[in-house]
C-alpha cells in the first residue's frame, strides 16, 4: 500500500483549484497513454466545488473520458440526494461535449444496482482516477465503518449508511485500491481529528477505518486537504520522519 502524499491548501477554494489541476493532469495523461480515461467521481458536498472548476478546464478532452461513480444513494437521479444529480448540475451540464457517464442505478434496489455496476467496473478497471471524500466517521464512498467485509472479488456492493439515505451502492475498498490514482478531498475543522486518526492508522501499519484502507496498491494516493482539516496532522517535516 502506498502512503498518501498530503497536499495542504489554505482553504477549500484553493483546494478546488489545485485538485482540479491534479485531476486534469491525471486525465490528460491517461488519455495520452491509453486513448481514454476512466474516472470515478465522489459524492457528497465537498467535491461540488472541484467539479465546477473542472467544468472550466480547457485541456480535458471529455469525449475521451468515461465517468463512473464511487458510490450512489439508492434514490432516483433527480432526487436532491443523488450524487449523479449533483455531478450533472456541477459538471456534466456545463460541458460543451459531455463525457460518457455510467451512473449507478439509484432508482433500483441497491442490491440490483450493485450487481449491475459490479460488471461495469470489471470492464473499466483499473480505474485511472478515483475521487473520494471522507465522512466524519472515516468512511469513503459508501463504505462505512462496520460495513461487513465483502467477498474479496467483489467490486461493488450494497451498503447501509448511518446517515440518510440509508440504502447505498459503493465501490469496495479492494476496487478502490486497484485504481491507478486515488485523490482524497477533505475540508473543514470538523474532520481534523478523524483525519489525524486515519493518518495514524496508516503510519502505524494498522489501517482499520475505511479512509485508512483506501490507499492505492501501487498507484498514486494523494490527499488534498485544507488547513482546517489538516490541523491535527503531523507537520510536513514530521510526515517524512
Ligand atoms: C456520499 C459520498 C461520501 C462523501 C463523504 C463526505 O455519497 O456521501 O460519496 O463518501 O464523500 O460522506 O461527504 P461531504 O463531502 O458532504 O462531507
Task: Give DSSP secondary structure letters for 161-226.
Answer: -SSSS-EEEEE-HHHHHTSSEEEEEE-SGGGHHHHHHHHHHHHTT---SHHHH---SSSEEEEEEE
Residue written as cell 497536499? 7
Instruction: Compute the distance from residue 3 Cα to the ligand 1 centre, in Å.
Output: 22
- This prediction has a pTM of 0.97
Q: What pLDDT digit, counting tens, does each position of 169-227 carry?
A: 999 999 999 999 999 999 999 999 999 999 999 999 999 999 999 998 889 999 999 99
pLDDT of res. 239: 60
- Residue 43, ligand 1, Cβ within 6 A: yes
Ligand 1 atom closest to residue 46's alpha carbon, by position in its atom list: 15
- Residue 133, ligand 1, Cβ within 6 A: yes
By the 8 A CB rule, do 29 and 21 touch? no
Phi, psi for 9 (deg, rounded to 5): -135, 150
Please check the confidence at residue 240 and state whether its pLDDT lies above 60: no
Which residue among 15, 40, 42, 159 is best mutated to probe the pocket of ligand 1, counting the most ligand atoms within 8 A of its Cβ? 42
Please check the confidence at residue 83 and state whether its pLDDT lies above 90: yes
Percentage above 90 pLDDT, the chain: 94
Alpha-carbon distance of 98 to 100, in angstroms, equals 7
Amino acid at each position: 500500500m502506498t502512503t498518501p502524499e498530503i497536499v495542504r491548501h489554505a482553504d477549500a477554494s484553493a483546494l478546488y483549484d489545485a485538485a482540479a489541476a491534479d485531476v486534469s493532469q491525471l486525465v490528460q495523461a491517461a488519455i495520452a497513454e491509453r486513448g481514454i480515461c476512466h474516472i470515478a467521481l465522489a459524492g457528497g458536498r465537498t467535491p461540488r466545488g472541484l467539479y465546477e472548476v473542472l467544468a472550466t478546464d480547457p485541456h480535458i478532452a471529455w469525449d475521451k473520458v468515461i465517468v463512473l461513480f464511487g458510490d450512489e444513494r439508492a434514490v432516483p437521479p433527480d432526487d436532491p440526494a443523488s450524487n449523479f444529480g449533483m455531478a450533472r448540475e456541477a459538471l456534466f451540464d456545463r460541458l460543451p461535449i459531455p463525457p460518457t457517464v455510467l451512473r449507478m442505478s439509484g432508482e433500483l434496489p441497491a442490491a440490483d444496482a450493485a450487481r449491475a455496476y459490479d460488471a461495469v467496473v470489471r470492464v473499466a478497471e483499473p480505474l485511472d482516477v478515483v475521487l473520494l471524500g471522507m465522512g466524519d466517521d472515516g468512511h469513503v464512498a459508501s463504505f462505512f465503518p462496520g460495513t461487513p467485509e465483502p467477498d474479496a472479488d467483489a467490486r461493488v456492493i450494497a451498503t447501509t449508511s448511518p446517515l440518510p439515505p440509508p440504502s447505498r451502492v459503493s465501490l469496495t475498498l479492494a476496487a478502490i485500491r486497484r485504481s491507478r490514482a486515488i485523490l482524497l478531498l477533505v475540508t473543514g475543522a470538523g474532520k481534523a481529528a478523524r483525519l489525524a486518526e486515519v493518518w495514524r492508522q496508516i503510519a502505524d501499519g494498522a489501517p482499520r477505518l475505511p479512509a485508512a484502507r483506501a490507499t492505492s496498491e501501487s498507484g498514486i494516493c494523494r490527499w488534498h486537504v485544507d488547513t482546517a482539516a489538516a490541523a491535527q496532522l503531523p507537520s510536513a517535516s514530521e510526515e517524512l520522519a
